[in-house]
Amino acid sequence: MKDLTSAFWIKLKGILFLIIGLSTALMLWLDTPTWKTAGLLALAIWSFCRFYYFAFYVIEKYVDPQYKFSGLFDFAKYLLSWRR
């Protein structure tokens, strides 16, 4: 698959991810509109964002600067084959 290089399409992709995330979060909360659901949903979103940051920034900058990840599946393969 060819890398996405057009600034327009990269921005559109980001906006679509935002729309998908907001609409699914809203649908989940509307299904069970409680403070507990809102808090758990916020915590899940926050923790996934932190994991993504860890997978692509922390590992690449602090643990193994030689390794470049192309996606979460690539990162999972790296973790499973990682030896100290």
Same domain, 20 and 48: no
Q: Tell me the pLDDT tens digit for each residue of 6-48.
A: 899 989 999 999 999 999 999 999 999 999 999 999 999 999 9
pLDDT top residue among 74 and 13: 13
Residue 38 and residue 26 share a domain:
no
pLDDT score, position 84: 47
Nearest alpha carbon to residue 48 among 80, 65, 72, 29: 72
Contact in structure between 54 and 40 (CB atoms under 8 Å): no
Q: Is 15 in the same domain as 38?
A: no
Residue 29 contacts residue 41 (beta carbons within 8 Å): yes
Q: Do 25 and 40 share a domain, yes or no?
A: no
**Do 43 and 20 share a structural domain?**
no
pLDDT at 80 over 90: no
* Count of domains forming the chain: 2
Distances 62 to 13, 49, 75 between C-alpha atoms, Å: 28, 18, 15
Same structural domain for residues 16 and 49?
no
Residues 38, 18, 79, 75, Cα dihedral to 10°: 170
Note down the domain range covering 82.
34-84
| pLDDT reading at 64 higher than 90 | no
